[in-house]
């Protein structure tokens, strides 16, 4: 359970991020503070933003309407935490793909693979996240390839591994991608260990494995 001092440090960090035009904080501000909800990322970062705003954001992150309410509610939060503390659980993971063009990659994943855009950061964009169901992919712009393309293809170096729960599901997904004209590095096949897999190659050559049970 965070102390008041730690919460103050969190608020000061948010304020510093805003002053430094750190794009990821714009989405937090827009989502948690209603008066910023109608603004774009650049507009949020250009708007007046004070320590009181940052404190309100931290309060809302913890379920309170204001900084004052958060301070008054800290003892009750600590008491509840003592009675309900459980083992921390990782709820999601996301593969990191290095791409040359964020817009082109987002277009590929949404139009070809049926993903939706979670967020896009930067003007011009330099970072984004896409998802399909529980599958998350982070897209990071790089001017130069991070992995040698010949080595990646020769060794089948995967950038992401995504699983489906049923044999019918993996088959349907393969047919869906095939109908969309997706480039496959490997078509659907049964592996010696009992799974069915196929590999998609994105516009930057990243290899994306999709796997499901064979039966």
CATH code of the domain in which 99 resides: 3.10.180.10
Do 47 and 103 belong to one domain? no
Do 107 and 141 belong to one domain? yes
CA atoms within 13 A on the CB side of 9: 5
Q: Which of 19, 53, 84 is the last residue of a domain?
A: 84
The per-residue pLDDT for 2 is 64
**Cβ atoms 201, 187 nearer than 8 A:** no
Residue 79 belongs to a domain:
yes
Do 152 and 203 belong to one domain? yes
Domain range for 73 is: 4-84
Do 132 and 168 belong to one domain? yes
- 79-110 pLDDT per residue, tens: 555 555 567 777 778 899 999 999 999 999 99
Do 29 and 75 belong to one domain? yes
Residue 191 belongs to a domain:
yes
- Output the CA torsion sign for 153, 156, 157, 159: positive
Alpha-carbon radius of gyration of the chain? 22
Closest CA to 141 of 207, 199, 74, 96: 96
Residue 89 belongs to a domain:
no
Please provide the DSSP assignment of 146-178 as one string: SS-HHHHHHHT-EEEEEE-SSHHHHHHHHHHHH
The per-residue pLDDT for 90 is 75
Do 50 and 149 belong to one domain? no
Low-confidence ranges of the chain (pLDDT < 70): 1-2, 76-86
The per-residue pLDDT for 25 is 87
Do 104 and 175 belong to one domain? yes
Do 98 and 42 belong to one domain? no
Instruction: Say how far apart CA 181 and CA 108 lie, in whole Å.
Output: 11
Q: How many independent structural domains does the chain possess?
A: 2
Instruction: Say how far apart CA 94 and CA 140 lie, in whole Å.
Output: 12
């Amino acid at each position: 359970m965070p102390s008041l001092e730690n919460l103050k440090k969190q608020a000061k960090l948010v304020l510093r991020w805003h002053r430094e035009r750190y794009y990821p904080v714009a989405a937090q501000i827009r989502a948690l503070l209603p008066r910023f909800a109608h603004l774009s990322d650049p507009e949020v970062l250009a708007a007046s933003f004070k320590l009181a705003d940052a404190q309100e954001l931290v309060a809302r992150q913890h379920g309170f309407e204001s900084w004052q309410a958060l301070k008054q509610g800290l003892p009750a939060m600590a008491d509840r935490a003592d009675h309900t503390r459980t083992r921390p659980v990782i709820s999601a993971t996301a593969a990191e793909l290095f791409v040359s063009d964020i817009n082109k990659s987002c277009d590929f994943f949404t139009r070809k693979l049926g993903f939706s855009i979670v967020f896009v950061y930067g003007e011009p964009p330099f970072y984004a996240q896409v998802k399909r169901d529980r599958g998350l992919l982070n897209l990071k712009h790089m001017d130069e390839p991070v992995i040698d393309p010949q080595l990646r293809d020769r060794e089948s170096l995967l950038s992401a591994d995504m699983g489906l729960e049923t044999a019918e599901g993996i088959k349907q997904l393969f047919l869906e991608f095939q109908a969309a004209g997706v480039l496959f590095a490997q078509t659907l096949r049964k592996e010696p260990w009992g799974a069915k897999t196929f590999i998609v190659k994105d516009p930057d050559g990243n290899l994306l494995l999709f796997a499901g049970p064979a039966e």
